[in-house]
Every structure is written in structure tokens, then in C-alpha cells.
Structure 1
């Protein structure tokens, strides 16, 4: 999880990744005494998603997180979840009209073919969506255990405003943000839930004591369209 250090802390102004563990199946949690476990000295380093990689490069944990204002997904590896080694960065690419947040990395079969697996990198941004405000985009390509290589990048670097409609979006509406998937769902399904709101108006929705729900769970698949 991300620790955002407040004034007076020895890490004041920094966002870094910390670790908590459970010994009772997730009912209670204890913060690791040596937190943070990964600190880049950055004020905008957040939103870790940790997956288990088993491939040609070996078997280890991989964390995808963001340098939000640099429009970069940063990747790290670990054997024990406590000591992290930098692997690579991805971005800027495609939509960069707002900060990047909440990345995810996973494999999906194309058209249901288990022999044709592609890696998918998702990253949410705010603002800069196809219909204004918050949104989530995705890239399809390959991950070799170190580097993610996109086969669907339209714009390298900062976005071309005229090509927004060519980028790949998780949803074309305005209320599907910070979407992240579950690992190891039954039957090999890739299930994703997003925040059903938009930072353009999230603070002005007239409900109390809470504002906005989460989306329904979605089955994520890759299908061929027009080649």
C-alpha cells in the first residue's frame, strides 16, 4: 500500500510503498516494522499492484506502480516482498491529459485461445478521458519479466489531442475510474472493478454521508476487432 507521509515525518512530503501482513487469513493486519519497503524519494509515487510472474526470466513478485505526474508506470521485482529491485518504466504514451494512477498488469488469451496469450497493461488517468474527466486506458503487448512492450501505442510521449479516440479505453463513459483486477479468480477469469465516479464532479454529488459506489464486477476479455 502507499504511505503518504505528512509534515513532521522523517519522510515528509514523500509517497512510498509499505507492507502489511496478516497471520489469520486477512481478518487483522500488522504493518511491517521496516516500512516503507520501497522509497524513490518522490511525492507522486503510488498505487502498487503486485502480481506473481512465472515465465522465461524466472519466478518472482512484480510490482507495477506509477510516477503519476511523469505519466510513467514503474516496474520492480522482489523475491520476498520486502526488498525490491527496479526493472523498467513504461510511458509516457497515448493518453497523458492528466496524472496516471492505479496501474495493473496481467495476461489474457486472445479470442479465448490459451495458446495466444497477450499481456495487458492498464493505467487510469485524471483528467483526460475520452468524454472528459477520469478514465482508464489499456495497452496490449508483451512482458518478458523485465520490460513491458506495447503493440498498441498510438502516440509516444505526450498525447496528440486529435487522436484521443484512437486510444484504447476500458470504458467510454465518465464513471469508471481507478479500475484494478483480481488475480487468481476461479476458472481463469479476469474480473475488474472500478470506482463509479469522476473527479470532475465527485466532490459535488449531493449525497451523505457517502458519495459514489463501486462498479459491478466485469469479466475482462481480449477479442479481435477489424484485424
Structure 2
């Protein structure tokens, strides 16, 4: 039995057993008040292998998921229901629905059939609100005779009153754009190709109109600098190694996506964020939310969990905002924040400290063992007096999140002043996989711009959610994010926090808090 049988995350969607990868078809049922998430699923084995199904789970809050079984299955055991998306066909443009089906539950799924070396796009529809699906009789709806043509993401484009599909010609590094009035007849419009970081292949594209906000969180309606975003996942070839999702801000006129600038920017700078998919809709109709696969193809098949593999990230909400990349330059960037309602959780004691002057060789130790179940939220704001930093020093501020049962295992997070980077260190474990797999790199770094600068003193912020074997970090109110998996022994949940520094007079923690969060309640 694996050492990690009991270390299944509490607030991240995992499969009941078997294999999970890309999220598919995320949508919100406004009638029932439920999120529906489908995902790549092999219920027969805890590794990726044909046949591949769509698994299905629902949630009222995006944090506690109820498994609903298999939603779509392949026709044969040698075929695959590969990645895709789901839409709500409110106006019955497809003609699949009678008046008996509530308009808010007219769900149509578009997905890739993989069989006999060919990938084509298929349509299935649901007459029961997304729980079971029937295949369209005239499938496939889009087949160009290609072996790497996959992952359709469909949106409704209000300005032209048409459905828009983005789909990857993966190993030609192209995102093809199609339009339709009925979800079954598709017309080629344009191609978005050879942009950003190509890696080995493009996968899981998405196109979304993202709200544009100012620094106070207010929506900017005029003049919009640009608020369409194209998402493209690549694997392998990401800057941190293996898999990642990049994005491009630009304009979409109903036929063509034109990036404002061609450079690649990445949604998440951890090692475990891939195949991002935004939801088709949201409770208020205009927020953009989504989630990704919390793993990396470099080591996903070998991670040391028993009878199941992988999780999805927390759901996140997104907006565009001006970001000061340097003191003299700012540009529009994608911001994210977790959908995180602690009222849905059983909360432990809130530990809060402020005004900590961190000195060399001193240790601040905080006991959080009470109620430790592996789910923990923390936040920290700190300032850096760079005038006191020697260029020759490794000048770090480090947080050691240690196991309640054994402090030998811990997760180290921290900031280093000369590099201007936050780091994650995940190799302090008794799990052999962590040390033996060369792709499970022990350290990850995230370059940070200051949140603010005053009199030469830079201030930074981080918010983190640790859920048994996955940590999600959000820097400077969501300007950057990093998702990283880690593995420690069975039930050795985090119970201690130690704060250390290698230098004097450099760091001051103006605010730090941490709270254990226990079993998720209804």
C-alpha cells in the first residue's frame, strides 16, 4: 500500500479511483446552483491509458465535490473521449431540446474522439441537466483527417451571435478558429499560430473575454485597452520544465484573434498547472472562473498515490489589471484569486502575528498542531531593506511548514533578496519518489516585482493554501501564482511553522497569519 493513501486533498477535486487529467466542460447550473466539472478519466487504472472517459463531479461551492460517475464513454475499449468543453444552449440553436428541458440546463458537450490514429470533433447532448449524454447522430461534426487535432473549447460570441470554437492542431502549433450557428455545422475562420512558447505541442486552447479592473477592483468599461485572452497549454517545453499554460491578451472580432503583444506570459509559475479551462458561464453571468490539472506530464504517471492519481486546482476567478513589472513600466496582466469560502470549512484557531523583526540565527516557532488535518491557509506581508543586503550573501527569509508527527518532513518557502524571487523547496520527505525521480525537481522559483516601494523599502505579499499534497500560492493580490505538488508520509500533516532568516536588518514581517481548516462541511 502507498504511503499516501490518507493524503488525498480535501478541497481539490480528485478521482474516486483511477486516473485523472485535464478538466473538461466546466459550467454552472443556474437552476440548481451547482458547478459541473468533467475530466479526463481512466477508472480502470491509475495511469493514463485507453480507453479514456469523461468523469463527472458537481459542487455547490467549488471546494467540496460529489462524484457522479462517468458522463461520456467511448464506443469501444480502443478509443478515447479526449478533452473538450460544454456549453449551455439556452436558445436551443442545436435543435436537440424540447420545451420540457429548462433553458438553463440545455447542456451540449463538444469533445475529441481519438480512434485509429484519427482525431475528430464530436457533439453529445444531455436531456437531464448534464448527468448523462447522447451522441449526435451525425457525428463527427468536424473531421479534417488529422492525427493531432483536438481539445475543442466553445464559447458564445454575443457580438456576432455565433458559437466560436478554438481547437488545437497540436504539432503544427496552430489554434484553429471555427464558427457555427447551431453547434453542429462548423465554418473555418482563421488561425492563431506559432506564437509565444511552442514547446513540443499546443494543447487545450481557450478563448475568453476577461473583465478589466482598476487597482481598486472596479470595472473599467471605457476605453477597454483589450480584454480578450487566448490560453494555450504546452507540453513538454515549459520554462519550469514539462507542462504549463501560457496566455495572450488581445482582441477578438468574431473571426480573428489578434494579440496585443506576441510574447508568452504564463498563468502559473509552479510546476503543476496545466490544461487550464475557463467555465462556460458563472453565477452572475460575467465573472470568468476556471481550473486546471494540478500535475505535470514529466512525472504524472509515477506520483506516489495509491489507487488514484492527480487532482485539479482550486477554482480561480480572473481579471485583467495594470501590473507594474518594473518601477518604470506597467502593462496589462492576468490576475487570479482562489474561489475560497471558509464558511464552508470547519475552521481551527486563527494564528496571527505582526511586526516580527527577523534576525539571523533566530527562530520564531508557531505551534499549529491542534486540529491539523492537512488543509491550511496562510498569508504574509513582508518588507525588504535592500540597503542592508550584501551582494555576496544568500539573503533569505524562509518559512518551514513542518509535519505534526515528524519535523524531518517539511515544506520550505521563502524569499531571497538578491534574486528578488520567491522559492519553493519540496524535497524534505521520506518518500522515495521525491528523491529518485529526476523530473520531480526539488526547487521552484518565482520572480516577483514588489507590491509597493517606499523610501527604498520594497513590500511583498503572498497568500497560500496547502491541501495535503498540493500548495497554491498567490502573490501581490493575485498578480502571479504558483501551484506545486509535494509528497510526505501518511498523515504527517503540517503542524508547525518556523520562520528563519540568514541575515540581519533586512526583513520585517508586517503581518503573518495561518489557520488550520478541517473537514469540509455541507
1:163-174 maps to which residues of 2 (within 5 A)? 167-174=264-271
Are residues 1:212 and 2:343 paired? Answer: no
Give the distance between the partners of 2:183 and 2:280, measured in 1 at CA: 16
Instruction: Give the counterpart of 1:70 among 172, 176, 193.
Output: 172
Query: Bigger radius of gyration, 1 or 2?
Result: 2
TM-score (norm 2): 0.39
Q: Name the structure 2 match of 1:99.
A: 201
1:132-171 maps to which residues of 2 (within 5 A)? 132-154=241-263, 167-171=264-268
Alpha-carbon offset, residue 27 of structure 1: 2.1
Are residues 1:199 and 2:297 paired? Answer: yes
Give the distance between the partners of 1:71 and 1:174, measured in 2 at CA: 22
Give the distance between the partners of 2:221 and 2:299, measured in 1 at CA: 41
Alpha-carbon offset, residue 128 of structure 1: 1.5
Give CA-to-partner distance per residue, 1:13-61, whole Å, 9 cap, x none: 1100000011121122101111110001100000001100111xx2110
Q: Name the structure 1 match of 2:141.
A: 37
Give the distance between the partners of 2:172 and 2:156, measured in 1 at CA: 26
Give the distance between the partners of 2:173 and 2:268, measured in 1 at CA: 20
Contact 2:173 2:193 in 1 (8 A): yes
C-alpha RMSD of matched pairs (Å): 1.1
- Identify which range, 75-84 or 204-213, moves more after superposition: 204-213
How many residues are aligned here?
207
Instruction: Return 5+ residue gaps in structure 2 as ranges.
Output: 1-110, 214-218, 324-329, 332-522
Contact 2:211 2:287 in 1 (8 A): no
Are residues 1:3 and 2:113 paired? Answer: yes
Contact 1:110 1:224 in 2 (8 A): no
1:7-26 maps to which residues of 2 (within 5 A)? 13-26=117-130
Q: Name the structure 2 match of 1:181.
A: 278
Give the distance between the partners of 2:237 and 2:220, measured in 1 at CA: 33
Specify the SS of the correspondent of 1:131.
Answer: coil
Give CA-to-partner distance per residue, 1:147-198, whole Å, 9 cap, x none: 00001203xxxxxxxxxxxx31010111000010002212321111000000
Alpha-carbon offset, residue 82 of structure 1: 0.8
Specify the SS of the correspondent of 2:308.
Answer: coil
Contact 2:149 2:169 in 1 (8 A): yes
Give the distance between the partners of 1:223 and 1:202, measured in 2 at CA: 33
Specify the SS of the correspondent of 1:113.
Answer: coil
Alpha-carbon offset, residue 138 of structure 1: 0.3
Contact 1:109 1:118 in 2 (8 A): yes
Give the distance between the partners of 1:60 and 1:15, measured in 2 at CA: 24
Are residues 1:119 and 2:223 paired? Answer: no
Q: Name the structure 2 match of 1:161.
A: none
Give the distance between the partners of 1:30 and 1:119, measured in 2 at CA: 33
Specify the SS of the correspondent of 2:227.
Answer: strand
Specify the SS of the correspondent of 2:305.
Answer: coil
